[in-house]
Chain A
């Protein structure tokens, strides 16, 4: 028997399977690599989002500190106070709601509500923040500083897998299974970042905003007083920097003529001059009880907050606007090494000879009380040969623990005399009585004679009066004082008080050279960043920076 067999071999299936296997491996490898890239991208995104969360938590703490410093009762709502050292994990002790900034040995903490995120990374952002004073010595001259430590926590979706971008691992320390910041384990990967900020108190003062009169409360004016302005550095229109009504009127006429001429250069000059002459601005923070009565002549603008002003406003040259949002800088007595005020000599005269070398930043400071009838003479440093005043300005601060009374002739009340090179700043803790004709400001410049009324710490009331028929050249900056301005004498300078009652026929001429000299107002934010540090260390891996 002969069998013819036909030899058939099939390789198509093998080739097909092999091809499919190779293609599958290629696809699987590509998918694996792509998956790792996606994982790395997710972790990067989560890590960056965590910083935003931490900074948002710092902002919450800064907000609480600033609101607390301005006396806002709800500043620490939602915060809790805990006694002990700072925690590494999110605190949970909510037995003591915070009522104020933490004391030494305590910290306040806050857990803001989680934020929902839209995107391909995590869908929630959590954060928590602590505030502590570190130590009682951790302070500036303006007060206690605080350490703010905030952590932002964002989930890192995806498998608990180390990034395929190996160089990322020293930077983005993702907690995959072990919580790198708080210890313990985590159920899902997460990225957390912690930053530490030092918030220190600041006393930020601003210029007085070109304001001749500022009151925290009622401003009342009885007669037809005039409030205008000039600039003592404008020696062209005001020879020697001295205000006279005649000079002001001539300058005003000149400015109006320039404005009408149409000549652009002259208009510009006229505009500036008109502005110089109409800067007698008035600011009233709370107008309750204010009354303009017959209407003062205000060559400037009036800004106020509170109820509408009573009385006539027809004589106000500028605008009338509301509100007037401002925070008045409170006055504190100067600190530092102080010399005792010299004892009165013959005729109760007190003579102060300012030593050489004083500056505005480093004046010589005297402290003590003044007798009622003392006459004060302040001399600038003298050339030992010629006995003439040395060039420049000498600065002295007189911190008076009681009343200041400069409203007489030296027998029953006091007088004050300073030469043309002296700049005197009184810091008075008691009541203040001033009369223009009892004060000789040798320079004729308001910026060289400033009387500060120190704000009482107990909130008690203080009074200040400016009276007499002579011109008072100076500034009264007494935000807690009720000021009465009587008599027929003018004031060349500025007045700031709790209230101001103008009952005489005196006029106020604001000197715009004071714009850069005074600090009537302070900013609302009283804490600022002194330091910022991100803690990216990983102690478990022996890494710090």
Chain B
């Protein structure tokens, strides 16, 4: 790319060898001397009163040090709303909720002892869906909601099952619908599910004699953990150290507070010894939080010229038993509720609703993958009703600079080129040959598209920092608060710094561990904002270090600092490069031949804090919550068997306006991976419940994921409308690739079979059930 040396290239990842060879050390691999192990007893009911817990037999079992129940530690905590006991207290609210924990010398001893604990329950009626939860006669799952501590940005409604309601009121929807010549009304839904990250969640806590609490955790958010541990357990922040090693997949599932509070309470129960709480796979799926469910009501009006006029939206998010990130997911979905379109009149209510399902946390796409399903399906419904091509219809309504978002934030000149993205997707899908092609009697190929937009959903004071130190050989060490979760941000950060120093990225050694007591503060490795924000901080640190190098070098080189340039591991006169010094002679102070030294070591400092962000007006949602918007379009091509509903995804394409591509291979992999994840989510994932809301597929045998061999061809394209305030013009791309794929798949399949599909997952069974009968004669035979 234009004159750059270290960015725009696919530089090797420093962690590649260890990851590929299985020698990367994760939190679960740690063995701290004296460490004890744990096992959980979990609820077999979706909703029940705890009558009694018999722990005597377990206490007698070999190796057991402690058995702890909710009654022993009745402390409520939570991310944004303090609604959850680490171990259920009096009531269980979902299938799989931890009820008791055993601490033992060995893991097998803990697991064996946990099986000896008998819990008596009185089953209660379960709340099965958000719609049921909103009925006036529904059981109120959190009668004490009014006492719960929460952040001001969310608006709980005590006495109901609503943990948050975000309202959007823009323009005059009544007028907008009156001006519409075409109106569609539809409902859409999908069930809760799981992230299925390769690494299960794990936390190790210990309490030293002096009160210092050390926590190792597989977390995306070590600073959030530190802050919440302080808030809910009254520990001074400085007495808490949270250490995050590289994480084996986050996807949002490790972005909040997870097992750390329980590990701390269990450590206290055994005199402060280190205690590891590590999920079994099934606990990771059921007991720890997963992907949110949604029921959406959509009413959209368009004028006869195809321009969108009004939207009336109701998003009912199935938060499950506890709020966690779900309250903010419902808020983020309100902020972006219309999808990336120009809509003058908008009314939206986005609710986070308690049910007796496993609770939900952040999941890649954070509200946007969810809202895109109803919106992008509706765009196809509208296009069909208007007799317009779905891509042309989207291009006509694509949001642009100068338009306003649902929160009435003006889209600034950095706004990406959505129309351009749609053109690229049309090209990659060979849209002009048609979007439905009959292959043979029972086989059709069909295509569908879906657009995406996403802004980070984060606190208005979200920040990042960077520190650069130097080694004797002149190479750099970069420390930030960014956690390596597989995304490779550290490689991108090394490239940004290397570009400033005009050296190879391998000369920048990034610390792959975050320690809250020595790494600079960083909100969390979430919201696709790390390369943007920590990147800005790293560039400032690099410039700060360069200025110090110039100052030190200017003494022996006897010139003004501004006459010096730093490049290729040297500092030299700009106008006469032969006169200069190796960085190794300068970065730890310059030593004259006779021994006298000057300058001292170089320490580069950089920081960044989000600019211009505000909260939302509680009545209208008006406000400026978005740091930047990433826009894009996606599409799939499928081949569908019209007799049995089976299908193959042939092609998945994405064109995204990312501003600038720092590392082409990683950027492509991130988006192809996102498309794979979204195809799994849309085609087969989701919990199955029995009549009492117990989960039937809570293991990886029965919960089907996308697998090798299912993969289509992935085509990834980048547009580069610069983000003026992003490092070298870049904006976030980590999550975005998931967003447009589920509706694109549903659009393609709906087009193929001629029936509008409104629910996920799109299993062949679901499609087969709605196939027009003349195409599926054998269905009746089977049903008879």
Partners in one complex: no
Instruction: Name B's A-contacting residues (CB within 8 A).
Output: none
Identify the A interface with B (CB < 8 A): none
